[in-house]
Structures are given as structure tokens and as C-alpha cells.
Amino acid sequence: MRREAFAKLWKMIGLRYKSHPWHGIDIGEDSPNIVSTFIEVIPSDTVKYEVDKVSGYLKIDRPQKFSNIVPAMYGFVPQTLCKDKVAQYCMQQTGRKNIIGDDDPLDICVLTEREVTHGNIIVPAVPIGGFRMIDGGEADDKIIAVLKSDEIYGHWKDISDIPDMILQRLQHYFLTYKQLPGEDPKCEITHTYGCEEAHEVIRRSQEDYNKKYGNLEEALSLTMLEAFQFAQRSQDMLDEL
């Protein structure tokens, strides 16, 4: 079966079946300047949702602890992975050693002045900076972005454009959202970085993803071809009986 036929087949499958948010949604042609994001949680949610890696459906991860409510739309950048390249960059920028990636897609917050009433949506976003966060020895960067063409926040081009109060609110959430009273902090933010470094983190997360999943459609196509060939051989055997 030719490559063009496989491409047509996958397009037809996409018309019938829902794509996995992590693997099936394209990051966007203009990445890292503009990226597609999949939003899991919004500020009004009282529980933390996250995508189930196997099925692609949203699942309840845990109730939001105490008064910790996410202050912006929160989700991930599809077709990214925080692994070796992201961890190497974290070690390079912090001087730390023995940092590993968290093996999850790259997290992102999307700021907008509009009220968004539910998650499980695709949002075009413009990355303007991020937090270099380390969670239990794992690189867990949080990219900060603004909704593309937002009337109020759309003119923000770098994290330096964000008012301090908004930035502090985001920092407080990520530093405390896993912490119980009396426990030692589990997360730390070593740096707040701007647009250029955010783009580098996104590029590296794409490289990490491509190393692990980059041939996903090809592998699926070959598996499908093997299934077709097996079915044909089985049918031929039955015809000969």
C-alpha cells in the first residue's frame, strides 16, 4: 500500500474516530511561535482533570487541595514530551545534576480575559515565557502563553509584560498545588524565563516526543498492513478448502 493511500486512510479514520489529544492533535505549523494547546482544567474547576494517556479521555486526577484553584486555563502542548532534551536544558540552565524529565507532555497555562466555561478544548496560544520548575528531581516546565488574538492580553509578547500580581498568582499555584499542611515543599521554581527560552523548551520537548513517538503513524500503518495481509492469507486458505 502506497504512502498516499495510508495518508488517505488516516484522514478517513479521523472523520470517524476521535483523535487522542496528545498524539492526534497537531502542534501547529507555526510552532513554537503559536501552538495548539489542549486545555484540561479551567479556573472554575474544583477537581483537577488530566488526560488518560491510554484512552485519551479526561479523567479526575484529584480534588483541588484547599483554596488552590488554577488561575488560568491549564493543559498541555500536543506532540511534546518532557524527557532527555528538556532535562538536559534544565540542568544546563540551573547547574543542577541528575535531573530527569517527567515523561509527560509539556504543561502550559493560557491567559485570557474571556471566561471559558469548560475544558476538553483546543486553544491556539502564543507562548511568552515560563517557569523552570523542578518537582522531586524531575524537570516540569510550565509554559505561560496568551490566547491568540485576545483583546486584552494579546499584546503581551514576553513574560516581562505580565503584571507582577498575575505572575505571583501563577507561581503560588504551582508551588503549593501538591502540598499538604505540614509537609515540606515538593516543587521549586528555579527561574522565570522569557519568550526565547520558552521557545527552546518547546523545541526540545518536540525533539523528545519525536524520538519516542515520531514514527507513530508509520508504525500503525505497518501494523494495519500486516493485519490486512494476514486476513488475505486466511481468506485464501479458506477458499482452498
Asked if 132 contacts 93 with a C-beta cutoff of 8 angstroms, the reply is: yes
List, for residues 70-121, the tens digit of each pLDDT value.
899 999 999 999 999 999 999 999 999 999 999 999 999 999 999 999 999 9
Taking the model in full, what pTM does it have? 0.87
Pairing of strands 100-101, 138-139: parallel
* Per-residue pLDDT at 134: 97
The amino acid present at 139, given as its one-letter code, is: A
Pairing of strands 35-41, 73-77: antiparallel
What does the domain layout of the chain look like in residue ranges? 21-214
* Per-residue pLDDT at 203: 98
Q: Which neighbouring-strand residues pair with 49? A: 60
Q: How confident is the model at residue 48 (pLDDT cuts 50, 70, 90)?
A: confident
Asked if 86 contacts 201 with a C-beta cutoff of 8 angstroms, the reply is: yes
| Cα within 13 Å of Cα(107), Cβ side | 22
List, for residues 142-151, the tens digit of each pLDDT value.
999 999 999 9
**Alpha-carbon span 143 to 83, nearest angstrom:** 16
What's domain 21-214's superfamily in CATH? Inorganic pyrophosphatase (3.90.80.10)
Asked if 153 contacts 113 with a C-beta cutoff of 8 angstroms, the reply is: yes
